[in-house]
Structure 1
Amino acid sequence: MLKINSDRLWQSLMDMAKVGATAKGGVRRLALTEADTAGRALFETWCRDAGLTLSVDRVGNLFARRAGRSEDAAPVASGSHLDTQPEGGRFDGVYGVLSALEVIRTLNDAGIETERPLEIVVWTNEEGARFTPAMLGSAAFTGAMALHSALESRDAAGTSVAEALRASGYAGERAVPGTVFDAYFEAHIEQGPVLEESGVPVGVVTGGQAIRWLDVRVTGQAAHAGTTPMQYRKDALFAAADMAGELESIVVDFFPQGLATIGEWQIPNASRNTIAGDVAFTVDLRHPHDSAIADMETEVRARFGSVATRRGVSVEISQHWVSPATPFDLACVDAVQRAVDALDYPNQRIISGAGHDAIHLAKYCPTAMVFIPCVGGLSHNEAEDALPTDVARGADVLLHAMLERAAAV
């Protein structure tokens, strides 16, 4: 049975990992920075070598097309992202891009044509580490986010996406929203421990769980640390700390599927000898079911409000981003299942815990994902790793799922 060139795929991953490499073995390629642009340029070189045609849309999404026998047919697409976290790993996102490229290379080597064209996509700013929201490029492509809103998003230094696109040379002309694909498949590391703990090398992903990002601001009263008795204080930090404890307690009621994280914490105008009068932090809620995550948010608002009342402070909670639970297309999931069964690779059905570009695509065209384990379940970390055998197996599954879909009009 046809399989990808595992050595070539691994070498491509290691070569891309040199672009923006960090001292601890990770990668830093924030979206549309010089490092990200260099990574895209390397990918473009490989695509031209494979005979692919390149184009860029107005939000910087990069497309590499392999012609099919029916050029007017909607393409079968695959891809992910090349941008990383500030201290990211070598496989998150890039595995999906380069496994799709390896699919094309393998078909070229075997002299196989497809009825439908194939396209590889590099989505802009998937991580959300430089611009918000995450998955910005695929959101604009699918119409989930207005193009002008995406272009106006700014990083911490005040640079807009539009300005970064011009500076990087990726302000393209291809229309946004984009032309609908016949289907979209995305290969990715799991970014969690389930597959590794189960001893299973391939996950057949059935959908993505619901995600809600909340912005929380606690306002008390700044005062002198040495002259204000404890009973008279309106300490925003101690109140926020109580709220953090309440958040952890809330998740217990939604065990084992509910998840909650405080990823950012700020004390504006902080001073060592001043009581914090203002604290801002983020809350990330996740659950496979929309009704449950709505209940989680309701509980957060109620308990944080109670803490604020008890401590004499005020709290404001706003939704920053909401992604509903998203089932993948049954036909595409079945195509992945048939591929992994034909290859006789151990596998299991799994729900994606992380957000991916495929979540946006699933609301736009038939979509499915292929997961492989990552060592220790570790991701968004410089120590992120994957085994070469798992890397190859996931790409083999991607190859046959795409080939099945692209062979039929």
Structure 2
Amino acid sequence: MPLPASARVDIERFWTTIERSGEIGVGRPGGLSRLALGDADKEIRDLFVAWCREAGLTVRIDAIGNIFARRAGQDDTLPPVMMGSHLDTQVNGGRFDGIAGVLGGLEVIRTLDAIGHRTRRPLELVNWTNEEGGRFSPPMVGSGVFTGVYTLDWAQERRDDDGKSMGEELQRVSYAGEAQAAPPPLDAYFEFHIEQGPILDREGFQVGVVTGGYASTGTIVEFRGETAHTGPWPMEKRRNALAAGARLLTAVDDLGWEFAGSGGKATAARLVAWPNKPGIISDWAQVTCDVRHADPEAAAVMAERMLRAAHEAAARASCGIEILDTWRWGGKVFAEEMIGLVRETSLALGYRTRDILSQAGHDAYFLARDTPSAMIFAPCKNGITHNNNELSTREDLEPGLNVLLRAVVARADR
């Protein structure tokens, strides 16, 4: 039985769910501070699991804490169609980034239940662990383990600023699951997300069809120097790790401005040092930074120059250097058949539709390595995100949710 032509999500029911989520982990006014595996993340996870079970879904949790909720298909032996995103936020996050994708997938399932439509293939809804990387670096750890980009042991040893590991915190919040953190065969993956940029809102488009992502490289660099008195110690003998870190971040920021005219971006994201006190030179510093560009060749040049700048900063400050971590994502990762399905579905529904590149990192990039995947973007006001003023309205989100509904069903009913 085909999906009725009139089938649409219940936007008020979805909005009630979003509003309830917005009460958990409240940060600055209007926003959220729901860092991965903290108490607020546990609370929203518990509520999400309860919602899924109320909808009759079978819930399983894997060893890195990813939550999967399954709706049986007519032929439950077929590989499932998966939807999802993340419920964790940045320390000054909004109420929609990632969250709209998880709760939007739940709304798709609730809509199918309401109209009595059982898809041929099973459906799975997922909440990925630590997508943001705001507490445990790097981002997208849960989906990275699931897809084999990272090992489980490596991920469990990621530590926050207080020295707590992901493995310890998974146990503490009771989300160290027993399911294997590896994918069964999947038919497809869909991720609904706010754009996190100003293009759709500025140009008046209702749905963004994501054709790929900016090629991005991020890194964590450690500098090692030597403590000394800031007064008498000669300049030529100083090994100031803090100065090395500051030089790298300035060089990265300059790199972003150099490539800004062609759309490139570079972020001086984080600098921590020890002792980081007046009167004493810091002997340790750690820097996090990244570069990205729509053109993969330009992105590769930026990444090489970022690495070179790190070594030049170490040499200038007479410090040792170690590249602790490097991560890469983006490019033309999404299957043409999936891009086409999203585009055709949106146009068939009469929405103002635009192809668009994602400029942020998303779990869908990792899924797309082995599974046909697609992303659907909805507008957000002025492109503001990772900020408590992040805002998407019902009217902004409803078209993309309806595209998600119909594209998922079309794929699952094949």
TM normalised by structure 1 equals 0.92
Give, in whole Å, the separation in 1 of the partners of 2:37 and 2:249.
34
Q: Which residue does the alignment assign to 2:206?
A: 201
Amino acid paired to 1:374: C
Q: Which residue does the alignment assign to 1:153?
A: 158
Matches within 5 A, 1:354-373: 354-373=360-379
Q: Which runs of 5+ in 1 are unaligned?
A: none
Residue 166 of structure 1 deviates from its aligned partner by 2.1
Taking only aligned residues, the RMSD between alpha carbons, in angstroms, comes to: 2.2
Q: Which residue does the alignment assign to 1:316?
A: 321
Amino acid paired to 2:92: E
Q: Give yes or no for contact 1:65–1:120 (8 Å, CA) kept in 2.
A: yes
Local SS of the residue matching 2:259: coil
Amino acid paired to 2:359: G
Structure 1 residues 91 and 98, CA, compared in 2 at 3 Å: closer, same or farther?
same
Q: Which residue does the alignment assign to 1:94?
A: 99
Decide which of 16, 20, 32 is 2:25's aligned counterpart: 20
Residue 217 of structure 1 deviates from its aligned partner by 3.8
Q: Give yes or no for contact 1:61–1:121 (8 Å, CA) kept in 2.
A: yes
Give, in whole Å, the separation in 1 of the partners of 2:259 and 2:42.
42
Q: Say whether 1:142 aligns with 2:140.
A: no
Q: Which residue does the alignment assign to 2:351?
A: 345
Give, in whole Å, the separation in 2 of the partners of 1:304 and 1:47.
47
Q: Say whether 1:54 aligns with 2:59.
A: yes
Q: Say whether 1:85 aligns with 2:93.
A: no
Decide which of 283, 286, 290 is 1:280's aligned counterpart: 286
Residue 86 of structure 1 deviates from its aligned partner by 1.8
Q: Give yes or no for contact 1:91–1:189 (8 Å, CA) kept in 2.
A: yes
Amino acid paired to 2:164: T
Give a deviation string over 1:44-65, Cα, whole Å, max 9, x none: 2222222212111222111111
Give, in whole Å, the separation in 1 of the partners of 2:192 and 2:377.
6
Residue 302 of structure 1 deviates from its aligned partner by 3.4
Give, in whole Å, the separation in 2 of the partners of 1:146 and 1:230.
44
Q: Give yes or no for contact 1:214–1:317 (8 Å, CA) kept in 2.
A: no
Give a deviation string over 1:162-194, Cα, whole Å, max 9, x none: 222222222222222120210000001111222
Amino acid paired to 2:135: R
Q: Give yes or no for contact 2:256–2:267 (8 Å, CA) kept in 1.
A: no
Give a deviation string over 1:325-346, Cα, whole Å, max 9, x none: 3420111111111111011111
Structure 1 residues 188 and 138, CA, compared in 2 at 3 Å: closer, same or farther?
same
Q: Give yes or no for contact 2:245–2:271 (8 Å, CA) kept in 1.
A: no
Give a deviation string over 1:52-98, Cα, whole Å, max 9, x none: 12111222111111111111011111011111112211111110001
Q: Give yes or no for contact 1:290–1:324 (8 Å, CA) kept in 2.
A: no
Structure 1 residues 141 and 237, CA, compared in 2 at 3 Å: closer, same or farther?
closer
Local SS of the residue matching 1:264: strand
Q: Say whether 1:385 aligns with 2:384.
A: no
Q: Give yes or no for contact 1:31–1:130 (8 Å, CA) kept in 2.
A: yes
Q: Say whether 1:67 aligns with 2:67.
A: no
Local SS of the residue matching 1:144: coil
Residue 384 of structure 1 deviates from its aligned partner by 1.3
Give, in whole Å, the separation in 1 of the partners of 2:215 and 2:322.
19
TM normalised by structure 2 equals 0.91
Q: Give yes or no for contact 2:238–2:318 (8 Å, CA) kept in 1.
A: no
Q: Give yes or no for contact 1:187–1:370 (8 Å, CA) kept in 2.
A: yes
Stretch of structure 1 that moved more, 339-348 or 238-247: 238-247
Local SS of the residue matching 1:267: strand
Residue 368 of structure 1 deviates from its aligned partner by 0.3
Structure 1 residues 220 and 10, CA, compared in 2 at 3 Å: closer, same or farther?
same
Q: Give yes or no for contact 1:289–1:325 (8 Å, CA) kept in 2.
A: no
Amino acid paired to 1:384: E
Give a deviation string over 1:339-396, Cα, whole Å, max 9, x none: 1101111121111111111111000200000011112211111221112101111111
Stretch of structure 1 that moved more, 11-20 or 50-59: 50-59
Q: Give yes or no for contact 1:180–1:364 (8 Å, CA) kept in 2.
A: no
Q: Which runs of 5+ in 2 are unaligned?
A: 1-5
Stretch of structure 1 that moved more, 278-287 or 60-69: 278-287
Matches within 5 A, 1:262-301: 262-301=268-307
Structure 1 residues 338 and 298, CA, compared in 2 at 3 Å: closer, same or farther?
same
Q: Say whether 1:335 aligns with 2:329.
A: no
Q: Give yes or no for contact 1:213–1:319 (8 Å, CA) kept in 2.
A: no
| Identical positions, percent | 42
Q: Give yes or no for contact 1:9–1:392 (8 Å, CA) kept in 2.
A: no
Q: Which residue does the alignment assign to 1:45?
A: 50
Q: Say whether 1:5 aligns with 2:10.
A: yes
Amino acid paired to 1:270: N
Structure 1 residues 102 and 40, CA, compared in 2 at 3 Å: closer, same or farther?
same
Residue 297 of structure 1 deviates from its aligned partner by 2.4
Local SS of the residue matching 2:191: strand
Q: Which residue does the alignment assign to 2:3?
A: none
Q: Give yes or no for contact 1:251–1:260 (8 Å, CA) kept in 2.
A: yes
Structure 1 residues 229 and 55, CA, compared in 2 at 3 Å: closer, same or farther?
closer
Structure 1 residues 315 and 340, CA, compared in 2 at 3 Å: closer, same or farther?
farther
Q: Give yes or no for contact 2:221–2:325 (8 Å, CA) kept in 1.
A: no
Residue 243 of structure 1 deviates from its aligned partner by 3.7
Structure 1 residues 254 and 178, CA, compared in 2 at 3 Å: closer, same or farther?
same
Q: Which residue does the alignment assign to 1:181?
A: 186
Give a deviation string over 1:169-225, Cα, whole Å, max 9, x none: 222222221202100000011112222222212110012222212223445554433
Local SS of the residue matching 1:91: coil
Give a deviation string over 1:287-335, Cα, whole Å, max 9, x none: 23443222112223334544555x4533625262322434201111111
Structure 1 residues 77 and 248, CA, compared in 2 at 3 Å: closer, same or farther?
same
Q: Which residue does the alignment assign to 2:265?
A: 259
